[in-house]
Amino acid sequence: MLSAENLESIRTDGERILALARRDPGRPVPQYPGWTMTDLVSHVGGVHARTTKICRELPTERPSAPRPGEADDVLDWYETHLGEMLAALEMADPDTVAWGFWPEPSLGLWERRMVVETGVHRWDADQAFDEHGPLSGLVAVSGLNEFEAMWLPRLPELPVLEVKAADLGRSWVFGSGGSPLRTVRGSASDIYLRLMSRPSPVELPRPWGAAVDALEPPPKR
């Protein structure tokens, strides 16, 4: 059994994305030029559907993310896969091994990945409707906790960076090879949003900012 708090976060943020998309499916999403809310829902729904597949089939290699068919109503398709993923995660053993992006991947890590994936894209959806709240503390901390294993390997070699979440009294150090050359401070939400190349008052050192801004966006589905 996985964490009830994590599952509720996924449910709440996932349902928020759907509610906003139902309000205006054609609304542009500022984070991804050329995307509408329907495109965002299709992307997140595909990630959710792949997570369900991983929980059920325990693959050892990366599976593809399912996509809605031409005859599917994308919003209904998303709603179905959100529910199926939550059910699959609720029944999962967090220690069970399956393919993942990290060393020693497990279904517990997939649960936490979905907290972050769904929470960040909920933030993207809110931005589309000019609603500018922060990430939840759970999403921001989960994202910062996974950053070293999830995202750092995709970046070029960078100087060691320390980030301090002033609102939580916590810090993280990213990179290896000595003491941090720079410490960045802000709320956990603002720090993680900047690391995910999203608008934030946090200023990263120039090489770090350039590196995270060069990360490839997800494919349009």
* One-letter amino acid for residue 42 of the chain: S
Residues 200 and 121 in one domain: no
For 92-109, the pLDDT digits (tens) are 999 999 999 988 999 999
Is residue 164 exposed (0-12), middle (13-18) or buried (19+ Cβ within 10 Å)? middle
* Residue 58 within any structural domain of the chain: yes
- pLDDT at residue 220, rounded to an integer: 66
Q: How far apart are CA 125 and CA 162, in angstroms?
A: 29
What total number of domains does the chain contain?
2
Residues in the chain: 221
- pLDDT at residue 219, rounded to an integer: 74
Domain boundary among 99, 128, 157: 128
Residues 105 and 21 in one domain: yes
- pLDDT at residue 221, rounded to an integer: 58
* Residue 118 within any structural domain of the chain: yes
- pLDDT at residue 118, rounded to an integer: 98
* Residue 219 within any structural domain of the chain: no
Residues 83 and 150 in one domain: no
Taking every pair of Cα atoms in the chain, the longest distance, rounded to a whole number of angstroms, is: 55
Closest CA to 184 of 213, 151, 144: 144
- pLDDT at residue 148, rounded to an integer: 94
Residues 159 and 114 in one domain: no
Contacts of 220 (CB under 8 A, 6+ apart): 32, 34, 35, 39, 43
Residues 110 and 53 in one domain: yes
Residues 124 and 146 in one domain: no
Domain boundary among 67, 93, 128: 128
- pLDDT at residue 6, rounded to an integer: 96
Parallel, antiparallel, or unpaired for β 161-165 and 182-186?
A: parallel
Residues 24 and 114 in one domain: yes
The answer to whether the beta carbons of residues 132 and 141 sit under 8 Å apart is no
162 three-state secondary structure: strand
Q: What are phi and psi of 183, to 5 degrees?
A: -115, 130
* Residue 221 within any structural domain of the chain: no
pLDDT tens digits, the chain, 221 residues: what are they? 578 999 999 999 999 999 999 999 999 999 999 999 999 999 999 999 999 999 999 999 999 999 999 889 999 999 999 999 999 999 999 999 999 998 899 999 999 999 999 999 999 999 999 999 999 999 999 999 999 999 999 999 999 999 999 999 999 999 877 788 899 999 999 999 999 999 999 999 999 999 999 998 887 65
Residues 42 and 111 in one domain: yes
- pLDDT at residue 70, rounded to an integer: 87
Residues 17 and 92 in one domain: yes
Q: What is the CATH number of the domain that holds 156?
A: 3.30.1050.20
- pLDDT at residue 150, rounded to an integer: 94
Residues 69 and 147 in one domain: no
Q: What are the CA-CA distances from residue 58 to residues 52, 53, 80, 105 (Å)?
A: 10, 8, 21, 11
- pLDDT at residue 127, rounded to an integer: 98
Domain boundary among 71, 94, 128: 128
Residues 51 and 101 in one domain: yes
Residues 52 and 103 in one domain: yes
Domain residue limits at 195: 137-213
Q: What is the CATH number of the domain that holds 11?
A: 1.20.120.450
pTM: 0.95
* Residue 220 within any structural domain of the chain: no
